[in-house]
């Protein structure tokens, strides 16, 4: 499951809406919506994002957060390290090899550290 899929499922369940009902309102199939929630489909396009935001009547900061989650929720990531340092290539390869072995606490810590380092 992706961060976007998890958040969408939470919002849907908070409002007691089935995938079938939501899918019908958005003009997509229930199977597509299920795959999107489970992380078996890539990010939704801009039009679908706007429909989802409207469907849940999300405003301002919450809408921006949902878009950010979608941007960081592609289930298959490719990292091109061509032209970067050897350390960047090593980090990308190490992360690809080890990510499935890391527990949630370590993952959250790494995310926080990377976000902090990117703001400097």
pLDDT in tens, 14-63: 999 999 999 999 999 999 999 999 988 878 899 999 999 999 999 889 89
Which domain covers residue 64, as residue numbers?
3-71
How many angstroms from the chain centroid is the CA of residue 120? 24
**Same domain, yes or no, for 101 and 44?**
no
Once rounded to an integer, what is the mean pLDDT over residues 63-88?
Answer: 87
Residue 80 lies in a domain: no
C-alpha torsion sign, points 96, 70, 15, 107:
positive
**Same domain, yes or no, for 8 and 66?**
yes
CB 2 within 8 A of CB 75: yes
Residue 120, pLDDT above cutoff 80: no
**Same domain, yes or no, for 19 and 58?**
yes
Residue 81 lies in a domain: no
* Among 4, 1, 11, 2, CA closest to 65: 4
Q: pLDDT at position 14, please?
A: 94
The domain tally of the chain equals 2
3-state secondary structure 3-28: HHHHHHHHHHHHCCCCHHHHHHHHCC
**Same domain, yes or no, for 29 and 61?**
yes
Q: pLDDT at position 64, please?
A: 92
Residue 38 CB partners (closer than 8 Å, separation 6+): 1, 5
**Same domain, yes or no, for 106 and 58?**
no
Residue 77, pLDDT above cutoff 90: no
Residue 112 lies in a domain: yes
Question: What share of the chain has pLDDT > 90, as a percent?
Answer: 61
Question: What share of the chain has pLDDT > 70, as a percent?
Answer: 99
Report residue 66's pLDDT band, with 50, 70 and 90 as the boundaries.
Answer: very high
Residue 79 lies in a domain: no
Residue owning tokens 């527990």: 103
Higher-confidence residue of 119 and 115: namely 115
Degrees to nearest 5, angle at CA 27 with 26 and 29:
105
């Amino acid at each position: 499951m992706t961060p976007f899929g998890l958040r969408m499922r939470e919002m849907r369940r908070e409002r007691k809406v089935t995938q079938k009902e939501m899918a019908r309102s958005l003009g997509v199939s229930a199977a597509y919506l299920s795959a999107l929630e489970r992380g078996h489909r890539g990010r939704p396009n801009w039009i679908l994002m706007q429909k989802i935001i409207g469907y849940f009547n999300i405003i301002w900061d919450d809408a921006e957060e949902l878009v950010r989650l979608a941007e960081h929720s592609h289930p298959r990531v490719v990292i091109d390290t061509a032209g970067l340092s050897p350390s960047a290539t090593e980090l990308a390869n190490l992360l690809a090899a080890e990510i499935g072995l890391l527990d949630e606490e370590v993952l959250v810590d790494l995310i926080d550290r990377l976000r902090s380092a990117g703001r400097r």
